[in-house]
Structure formats: C-alpha cells, structure tokens
Structure 1
Amino acid sequence: MESPTPSPLSGVTLHGRVLIGARVGGDGSVSVHEGHDTVADQPVTVTLLGPEPAADPAIAHAFLGRAQTFAGLTAPNLVRVLGDGQDGEHVYAVTEHTPGDTLAEVLGGGERGLRYSPHMALSIVADVLAALHPAHDEGLVHGALSPDNVVLDDDGGVTVTGFRLVGVEEATPRTDVHAVGMLLHTLLTGALRAADSAPLRPSATVPGLPPDLDMLVANATEPNPRYRPRDAGQYLTLVEQVLRSLPRPQDPAAATQPIPVAGSDAETGPSAHRAGDGTDEDRPAPWRRFPVLAAAGVLVLALFAAGWALAPDEAVELPDLAGFSPEMAEAELAALELDLSFTYEDAYSDGVEPGEVASTDPAAGTELEAGGSVVLALSVGPRHVGVPDVVGGTENEARNLLREAGFTVVEVVQEHSAEETPGTVLSSEPEAGETGDREETVTLHVSEGVIVPDLMGMGRTEASDALGGIGLSVTVVEAPSGSVPEGGISGQDPEPGAILPEDGTVTITVSTGPEEVVVEPEEPEEAEEEPAEPEEGPDDDAEQESQGASCSGESWDPRTVYDEGDRVHFGGRVYEARWWIQGIPPTVGGEWGAWSDQGPC
C-alpha cells in the first residue's frame, strides 16, 4: 500500500459529510484516499474516479453500479461499502477503514522476508476465497487481487480490499483464482514476485513442501484459464480439503518463519528453472499436478469432473455449467475466447435450483469451434411436484396455490353440492399430496355457482351490465394505464372463468388513461439584488411542501434508469435521485442512499 501523500483534493468534503484526506493508493483510473465521516465521526477510505473517466457518463454509471452491488454483499472478510455517489465532478465510493498491515508489508520488510507455514498460509487463502465467493456468485470479480489489498489485523483477521470498480470488463472469476494462486505461492515462499509463464510450484523454492500444495498453486496459476478452478467457491473446496489433511503446527509462534526472499540473481539461477521456465522438461507430468495424500482420489475425481483434465490446446471442450447462474455461465463461455453466441430456454430439473443452468446444448465435454452457439437451459424446477391441498377454499384461491406450485393448466368442473356454498372446491384430480405432472391438467371439482365472464376490452357500463345480468355485484376502482384507453377495463378480480356464488362481487379496474407526467418548472435566474421576503405564516411551510411534492408525477419503476435530479413518488412520498440509479427502491440506503426524501405527497 502506498504511503499517504499530499493531494490537491485533501480538505474537500463530499456531500457535506465525507472529508477527503491524503492519497494512499490508486492508478490511472482511480485514486484512493484516507477519509473521515464527519457525521459518524469515524475514519473511512474514499475511492475517487479519475477526472477523465468521471466525465464519461457510461464509465461513471458503471463505477456507481458496481459500488452499489458490492454494498449489498455480506462476507466476514470483505471490506464493506458504506456509500457512493456523485458530488459535482467527483464520482466516489466510501468503504470502511481497515486497520492493520497488508501482506505485502508483512512479507516484504527488511533484507529478509517472511513466509508462512503451510497451515497458516492455507488459512489466510481460505479467508480470502471466502470473501471472493459471494462476489463471484453475483457475477462480480475483484480484478486486481495482490498482497497489497489483503489486510491482517492485530487479531489475525483477514480483510480483502481494493476491488476494482472500473476496467474489469475482461476479467473473470478465473482471473481472481489465478491471483489467489499467486498469493498462495507468495505466502509459502516469501517471494512477492514470480514468473507466471508456467504453472508455479512452491516446492521448487522451499524443498519439502507437501505435493498437495504444489497441486493447489499449479492448478490456479496455469496460464490457460480453462484449466483453473472455475471460481472462488470451487477453489475454496480444494483448499479446505488440503487444509484438513495437514497437521496443525505445534508451536503457534512458528507460523511465520524468516527466509531469504529470492533476489534478481536467484530468479535467473537454477531455482528459477525449477520454478518454471516454460520448457517441456520443466512442466510437470499430469499426474504430478494432483495430490498424493489421503484425499488424492477425491480431489482427482473432482478435478476431472470439473473439466480440468489436461487436453491438447487445440481441443476446447465445453465445461460443465450445471448449477451456474446465467451471469457466471456467460463469463465461463467468454473465458474460452471462442466468440461463442448463446441463447436461453426453460427446462425441468430435479437437482438444480430454479433460475440456474440445468444443462447445455451441446452437452458438457463437447469440443467447440470458434463462432459456435450454445443453448443454456435454465431450470424451472422439477417437472413432477406434489399437488397442494385446495379443497374447501374458493376456486380463485385454488388457482393461485396451483400456480405457485407450478401447475398452469387448470380445468374446472361444476357439481351440485347441498353442503358447500357455490364456488367452493370439492376435490381435485390429482388429489392433494399426490405427485402431479406440471405438463398435465389439474381438474378442480367446484360447487355450482356463477362463472365470471371475461371483461377485458369492455367499457365500464358494458362490464357492469354484463355482471349485473348474471347476478353479480360490481366494485369499481380507477387506475392509470398506458395500454388501455380511458374508460376501458384494464383488470378484473377474480379472473375470467372463476366461479362465485350468486351474490358474489367482481372488482373491475377502469383505466383513467396514461399516467400524467408533471414537468417541474425551471427556476428563474437569481436577480442581482433579491427583494426582501415576506414573513411566512404558520401554514406556509406545509403549503409549500405540499405544492412541491405532487404525487401526480412519475411513480418509481425498477426498470427505469434515473439520473441526478429525477423525481419519483413512492409510498406516499416524493424522492429525488442524487445520482444515476436503477433498481434500488427509494426507501433503501437511508441518508447514504441514492435517493433524497423530498417529503410527503
């Protein structure tokens, strides 16, 4: 980590709250500063987007979007994002302060560096992977992991910092896995830098290390990404298996052991050749890449099942994407560098959660060609599921329960019943608790009553007459609609085909036309000398707030992108966007949020 240096931004306060201090890191696209939250009275870290990228709306939006996504992640070893925003020309993200020393500082001080015992090194790496795991699950990558952004506190806790918020378009989870492999090599050998032209083996620098450690480092630092573990979660599984197989150190004080850090002369000598010079002689035989301890059999099977078996470079096989989220599957396909196209379809699956990849076409293991296409089948859950108990409820309630269970084809048969009121479900086929096929029809036997007609497309008067003609009452509500003309029926409850008793009620929604958009008048330019303002009466504030917070404007829509200054109404209140935002409700974030509460409607 860089030492604090003076900065022209020192002393600037963001949104009247965060005071920027000395610069402590960064690159050409961002700068990292010490900071202080003057409201919470606590130290923070401020990441500022550089002036040139901040002037590009697309880059600024991407920066803020990634910051907001990271803010939603929870991991014990992950630095927390406290807030983000845009104050004038400054686009920023605020993270918690992480006291302690970076691994680069711990391992690189003095003429002789430090290395960790295998058990301690794997423990640190496991904590790092545990922080990366939830980010990879959300399709996010760190993009710049190194010993400079892994912080150790006085209690031995590990915190991962320095997530890149811009410039990570080409990075994938396998990029982070490679960085963790390099980190593990550093922890085991004390060498802060190593050549990455061939898989690394720490035993080449520190003889006598267990072969399992060579396997973990070599697989993660393999130059070809497709031979690495696919993400932090998969690599963490292997690390934990090896960690459990190692004996615990008898003396905790011996966890770090001083050894010489290889200099430039050592890197060009025989030891450097042993560590990997890219020759065929140096590259270990395939079986040497796998563990030879007690857990060897399990790990080898896991590696082959994941598609990591070494294959000729010219043969690129489709990896097994089952269980991946769509975002992670797309990242895996992009990492193959074959310019593949992909489409989605739905598929039943007994073992894969809904929304995740159930299978692919072509199947996993198939050799791919550049420019080919892949169909990703997303799970909609199992095809055969238990039929819910709908007997005794109304026909409308039964339809909702069946729909939630995955049954979409429902047929209703009316039967006379002297005991049940009209519209009550008497039985179902299949019966409650039986396994039903979601592709097949579920038949509901319902006590005789009045069948609700389809009112969509009718006018208000026509719909009311149609219901009154069959003995049903009408309740009318009005709501704006962009697709139904004013006065037309835009909705009804219960839905067409439902059965009600003869005195039942149907609620119809009548369109009032498109929602009115209120354009805020532009404020007049300030005069050179402002006239004295009249004294306000006791109710002036309330009247002004009411006039400035009309609920007749645009309601919040999760699919709309809002820019700074845009106003919406939500939950009876008016909110104004502080910066670019999409998908975040106005009530989320509080004083750190992207929305400013303008008062009630």
Structure 2
Amino acid sequence: MESPTPSPPTGSTLHGRVLVGARVGGDGSVSVHDGHDTVADEPVTVTLLAPDLVADPAAVHAFLGRAQTLAGLRSPGLVRVLGDGRDGDHVYVVTASTRGEPLGEVLGGGDQGLRYGPHTALTIVADVLEALRTAHDEGLVHGGLAPDDVVLAADNRVTVTGFRLLGTEDLTPRTDVRAVGALLHSLLTGDLRVEEGEPLRPSATVPGLPPDLDMLVSNATEPNPRYRPRDAGQYLTLVEQVLRSLPRPRTEGGDVTQPIPVVDAEALAAGGSPARGEGTPPWRRLPVLVGAGAVVLALCVAGWALVPGDAAELPDLTGFSPEMAEVELAALDMELTFAYEDAYSEDVDPGEVAATEPTAGTELEGGEAILLSLSVGPRHVEVPDVVGGTENDARTLLREAGFTEVEVVQEHSAEETPGTVLSSVPEVGEDGDREEEVTLHVSEGVIVPTLVGMAQAEATEALGGLGLTVSVVEAPSESVAEGAVSGQDPEPGTILPEDGAVTLTVSTGPEVVEEETEDAEDGGTAEGGSGEDGDQAAPGGSCSGSAWDAGTIYDEGDRVHYEGRVYEARWWIQGFPPDLGGEWGAWSDQGPC
C-alpha cells in the first residue's frame, strides 16, 4: 500500500497562528517559506522539515534541538527565532523576517559584478564574525554560510540568517571560518564563484589591494582546516587588527564613518569612476574621497612643492592622514601611484603616515610608485591588567592593546573561580612585543559530567572522584527508572571549583495516583472534595501529577506542574522549563494547581 502524499504546506496555518506562504528556498532536508503571523500581523519566515523526515524521530529531535539552541542566542546580528514545534504533519521553525538586501543580490547587481572597498568589506565581515562568535561560544555552527545568508539593511545593520538545522554533526567552527574567508573574497572582488582548492588571494583579481587582505582571505580559506583560525572569535581579532590599520574613507559632508560603496570592479581596475546611485541605501552610495574644501586647501598649500620642469621633490608627509597624503601627491601632477603597508611607530599616531619610500626630499620622476607606511602604534606596549578577570575580558583588553596572538593554558586552582585569569606571560605591566604571543594562565576548575540515566551510587562515585560534593533529592519520573538520576544541577559541561556541589534528582519511578474513594451510600463527594457539587480543591493547594523534569521528553498534550502552576506541552520538548517562551513557547500555562 502506498503512503499518502503529504498535503502541500503553502496555505497551511500552524497552530492557528502562522500562515505558510510560497516557498523561497531550502534543500533536500528542509523547505523555507514566506509566512505571516496573523496574531502580530507581521511577516515571518517559516522553515519546514522535509515530509520524509518528519517520521524520523532522530531527525525531528535534531531539527528542534538546534532550533531551540538558536533561540537561546542573544546577538543583534543573528536572525531571531520566534517559535518552533510540530503541528500535525509539519515540524517547523518560525523566524523573524529580515529587512534588507542579501549580499548575493547586491554583489550580483552590476553588469560586470560589483565589489566593496576594503574598509566596508572588513566592516561587514567583522559584523558577521561577531554574530557567529556568539553561536560558536554556545557550540553552534552555521554550517553553510553563503552571501545570500548575510542581509544588509539600509541602516548598515548586518544580519546572519540561514543556519543549517540538520547535517551539521561533523562540522566545526573552522567550517564557518572558511565560509567567511570566501565571503570576504567575494566582497573584495565581486566574484561569487568561490570554489574549494588553493587558498584564495583577492589581489590576483583586483591588483593593488593591501597585502593584509590577502593574508586574511588565504588564512581562512586554507584547504587544511587545522591551519585556519579556530573559530569566529579568533578570526575577528585578525580582521579588527587589519581594519584598524586601513585608512578610514571620507564621504560627502566629511562623515568618516560612512562605508565605502559597492563599485564596479572592472571599471575601477580600468581607472573609471562609477556613477553615484540615487535613492539607494547608504552602503550603496559612492562617497567622495575627501570634501571639496579639503581638496582646494591641499592644492593651495602644495604649490611650494612644485618644481619647474618634469621633476618635483617628495614632500614630508609624516603625520598626514592617508587621504591628505593622497591629495598632496595628486597635487604634484606627476601621475604618481601609491600603495600602503603597516609600520610600527613610537611617535606617529595610529592611522597616520609614519614614513615614505622614497624618503621626503627625494626628486621624483613621473609615474613613480610611492609606498606610504601607516602607523599601527609602537611595537612594544604595556601588558594590561588582566589578572583576576575573566578570560573573555582579558582577550578584549589584550586585543585593544594591540596583541593579536593569545594562548590559554588551563590550570587547576582551588582559590579562584573557574575561568579566572591567574597570571600572564609577559606579566601585567611589562612591555610586550605585539609580534609575539601572550600566554594566559586560566583557572580550569572541574567540568561537571553528564549524569542523567546513571544509577545513584554510580553518579555519586563519579562526582566524588572529581572532588565534588553531592546532595540528593527524590522526585517521580515517567521516563527514568527508579533509583536512577533523572536530573542534575548544575547542567553538564558547567565548570565548578574543586569543592563545588552538585544536586542529583533521583527517580522514585512513576508517580502513583491514588484512586478516588466513594463516600457511603449517600453518593457523597470523593475524598478531598470541596462541597456538595464535587468541585475541585481551590487553586493554591499542593500540586498532584508529574513535576517537570529536565531529562524527560514530553510530547504534545503532556501535563506537568512547575512552581505551583500546571503546564501542557504544545509539541515535543525537552530541557526547557515551562515558564520560558511565553505565548510562543512550547508550554501552555493552564493556571495554578
């Protein structure tokens, strides 16, 4: 007998609230649809598990489990999960609709392909990495980042969408790093056809790009994953360092924070000047290199440098901003070309010209190349006070001081909270070489193991072997055998001090519900009744039935009590307390018990 064909999802309504619209994407495991929240009256996006996988409990568990993990992430750069669950034949995730334009459409919008300038390309990538760092810190990998998964809004906000909900078990954060490196290559070159193989180098497509950009892209797209940055956080540190070393572009009106626009790559390489768009978002407009007033001023003061004939002396550009240095060179009217490199400097502020090659006063010839060295500050700087703070805070302070290579060594410490920085090499207050690695010694503590399902004696012995103290509470459980651990606090993976405590919830088996006894022959109320009409006891009394258990898997319709209230599961759920989620949550509040 043939299995019935599932009804098309388009036009369906999930839980009487979300109307499923036309399909807009997906793969063999999921389909993505436009949707509309009829209660909030706003557009949403609906991702549905493929019909042939809905009958696979493992696939449903993995799909909803990743959706619930994604829902717990808090980052302005991540798409917001509104709800998930199962309604009949449909297993779904509902996410907020993102306003803006996918990068894939932006970069493909020109006749020859479009690209961004280095500053804006790195700014976009930094925002993407900041969002992915939040996910990586929680053990979640995107799994398939592409230009269409990065949405740019008119206010320059970057949103990462399209997290893969199945098939990511064997992927690591380095998979996402490779995808971001390929994205940076596409932003800089306009080439969306990025294939696996040798490390990518954008300067091979767009000559003249700073060498640091080649370094960023090639490191991230290295075929061997072990040689890539380990996660989004480490790659973000490198990107921020290069971003700080680049000259900041100026726009009309002098707003130096305005991003460089999307420009036509081939026209730019040919020396052309792309036209400025009208009515386009800020990140698609072409800014002027410097304001007209600055150009006039520079041309006036540059007159002293002109020498009769075809030669001129290179002026002293030390301390100039990159933009003003370019204007000075253009004023010589000798068709000079110029390039940039980073240089340490004790005297010149970061971002300003520290030196030139050739040196100031050199007689120039037409068409000569000028190398401008931009200061990144001194090479040796004082190591900030990181001892006593958290590892994440220490990394931030070191990054702000200019240290980009940080190694962490974990050590046991009975005195300090896990994750506390115990010491650093070089020590706090010493001058450190920014080219060298800073080593942080961090209190490791004890990692709490997974204990649910173990016998009480076995779990107690395991915790005792780790030096942790144990307390036990008992509670009924429908799914865990009597005498076995049905819950634990804190949860697995938590780092505790060596003398930390763990509370085990041990199952007493299924809860026994006493049958009601009839009164004498007068047909009175059952024991515990509250009057002649047989009404239930007033709310606020003791709760009967099953207490919520973090280790139990609940199906639609299952009821539990939690903190004095009764909740009913709307769909499959595990590990999420009933008081979380509100109207979009998996639990429906049935009132006090």
Same topology, TM > 0.5 = yes
Distance 1:297 1:119, change over 3 A: closer
Q: What residue in structure 1 maps to residue 412 of structure 2?
A: 348
SS of 1:293's equivalent in the other structure is strand
Q: Is 1:78 matched with 2:78? A: yes
Distance 1:572 1:107, change over 3 A: same
TM-score by length of 2: 0.56
SS of 1:151's equivalent in the other structure is strand
Residue by residue, what CA displacement relative to the aligned partner does 1:532-587 show, whole Å, maximum 9, x if unpaired?
Answer: xxxxxxx999947979x993211111222222232211112221222222221111
Equivalence map 1:33-52=2 (5 Å): 33-52=33-52
Distance 1:41 1:582, change over 3 A: same
Q: What residue in structure 2 maps to residue 590 of structure 1?
A: 582
Q: What residue in structure 2 maps to residue 473 of structure 1?
A: none
Equivalence map 1:198-209=2 (5 Å): 198-209=198-209
Deviation at 1:245, TM superposition (A): 0.3
Q: What residue in structure 2 maps to residue 516 of structure 1?
A: 511
SS of 2:561's equivalent in the other structure is strand
Equivalence map 1:17-416=2 (5 Å): 17-251=17-251, 252=258, 254-260=260-266, 293-294=342-343, 348-349=412-413, 354=418, 379-380=444-445
Deviation at 1:51, TM superposition (A): 0.5
Flag structure 2 segments of 5+ consecutive residues without an equivalent.
1-6, 252-257, 268-339, 345-373, 380-389, 393-409, 423-441, 447-463, 485-505, 517-530
Q: Distance in 1 between matches of 2:515 and 2:238?
A: 59
Deviation at 1:65, TM superposition (A): 1.0
Equivalence map 1:569-584=2 (5 Å): 569-584=561-576
Distance 1:195 1:516, change over 3 A: closer
Distance 1:520 1:600, change over 3 A: farther
Deviation at 1:483, TM superposition (A): 5.9
Flag structure 1 segments of 5+ consecutive residues without an equivalent.
1-6, 262-290, 302-321, 325-345, 359-376, 382-407, 409-438, 440-455, 457-477, 485-510, 522-538
Q: Distance in 1 between matches of 2:132 and 2:249?
A: 27
Query: Given that residues 184 and 217 in structure 1 are in contact (C-alpha distance below 8 angstroms), is that contact kept between their aligned partners in structure 2?
Result: yes
Q: Distance in 2 between matches of 1:28 and 1:67?
A: 18
Distance 1:208 1:580, change over 3 A: same
Q: Distance in 2 between matches of 1:356 and 1:551?
A: 42
Equivalence map 1:559-578=2 (5 Å): 559-578=551-570
Q: What residue in structure 1 maps to residue 404 of structure 2?
A: none
> What is the identity, as a one-letter code, of the residue corresponding to 2:570?
R
Distance 1:350 1:153, change over 3 A: farther
Query: Given that residues 417 and 443 in structure 2 are in contact (C-alpha distance below 8 angstroms), is that contact kept between their aligned partners in structure 1?
Result: no
Count the aligned residue pairs.
371
Q: Distance in 1 between matches of 2:168 and 2:537?
A: 44
Deviation at 1:111, TM superposition (A): 2.4
SS of 1:92's equivalent in the other structure is strand
Q: Distance in 1 between matches of 2:134 and 2:203?
A: 31
SS of 1:67's equivalent in the other structure is helix
Residue by residue, what CA displacement relative to the aligned partner does 1:496-543 show, whole Å, maximum 9, x if unpaired?
Answer: xxxxxxxxxxxxxxx9x867344999xxxxxxxxxxxxxxxxx99994
Q: Distance in 2 between matches of 1:297 and 1:260?
A: 31
Cα RMSD over matched residues? 4.1
> What is the identity, as a one-letter code, of the residue corresponding to 2:8?
P
SS of 2:343's equivalent in the other structure is coil
Query: Given that residues 110 and 264 in structure 2 are in contact (C-alpha distance below 8 angstroms), is that contact kept between their aligned partners in structure 1?
Result: no
Deviation at 1:352, TM superposition (A): 9.0
Q: Distance in 1 between matches of 2:580 and 2:133?
A: 25
Distance 1:380 1:593, change over 3 A: same
Residue by residue, what CA displacement relative to the aligned partner does 1:347-383 show, whole Å, maximum 9, x if unpaired?
Answer: 614999627999xxxxxxxxxxxxxxxxxx98218xx
Distance 1:112 1:517, change over 3 A: farther
TM-score by length of 1: 0.55
Q: Distance in 2 between matches of 1:543 and 1:132?
A: 55
Distance 1:480 1:585, change over 3 A: closer
Percent identity for Structure 1 against Structure 2: 67
